[in-house]
Structure 1
Amino acid sequence: MSISRRNFLRAGAVVAGTLAAGMTLPGRGIAAQSRAKVYAAKSLDSETLRKMYALVNGGITGRVAIKLHTGEPDGPNILPRDWVRDLQATIPQSSIVECNVLYASPRQTTEGHREVIRHNGWTFCPVDIMDADGDASLPVKGGQAPQGTGRGIASSQL
């Protein structure tokens, strides 16, 4: 199945709008308790990225994970490395986090993923591939195991 970027963004906007309006999602039965804060920027650059982080960080301390798309080899849709490098330099004890992918890609294995990370220039800080050592079962009260596994939901199966 394939979905266009436009339809993906449209669906995301519907979900965000539903949550912001305090409505319930089908099958969830839980309404948002308060209105969501929405931050927007007229320009995209390193400074704006740092300002946005300052607005949403909520006093985060300790080891901080920066989750972003490090990309396929030479792929589009990657934040400029300079912007992320500038942001990461302002967050003590931070590193980028990623996971291996389930679809056909060099990023499907940890070794291939590390090569893509180097190739795409994510070399200015640590990059933790969270499932490098395998899956971890995450028990979820009332959750469902993926069909046919007989076990709890694992991080790479979500």
Structure 2
Amino acid sequence: FGWPKGRGMVTIWIGHVMLCVSYVAIIVQSRVKEMNKSLEEAALDLGATPLKVFFVVTLPLISQALLSGWLLSFTLSIDDLVLSAFLSGPGSTTLPLVVFSRVRLGLNPEMNALATLFITAVTIGVIVVNRMMIARERRRMADMKAAFAVA
């Protein structure tokens, strides 16, 4: 009864996409508005196809906004217990539902281990991204210094 037949992972997925698409759209839209349109026009003038312009010029320029939108969507999806509870059917469960049901019964070592894994994964991710940003900034500064030395 209803679409899709029964409730399960498909309805949970559709619900989370509908919830998060507006957040991602706002983030990406603000980045696209700030983008220099002459870069795309120059690529088109030099003979690139619109598809190639998108993948070579536009996508790298909006990639940080897409990543930010993905991280925000992931955080909202992990946090949204109510949406998952209403959209899940019998036999389909998500991580927030499991955590909530186990915490209601009392804290146990599994939940402590899961929290430790989440904190560890986030910490490692932040450290890796920070190192990549520092390396990219150093490379950019070295390139600028080399360009000014030639001129």
Relative contact order, higher structure (CA 8 A, sep 6+): 2
Which one has the bigger helix percentage?
Answer: 2
Which one has the bigger strand percentage?
Answer: 1
TM over 0.5: no
TM range, normalised to the smaller chain? under 0.3
TM-score between the two structures when normalised by the length of structure 2: 0.21
TM-score between the two structures when normalised by the length of structure 1: 0.21
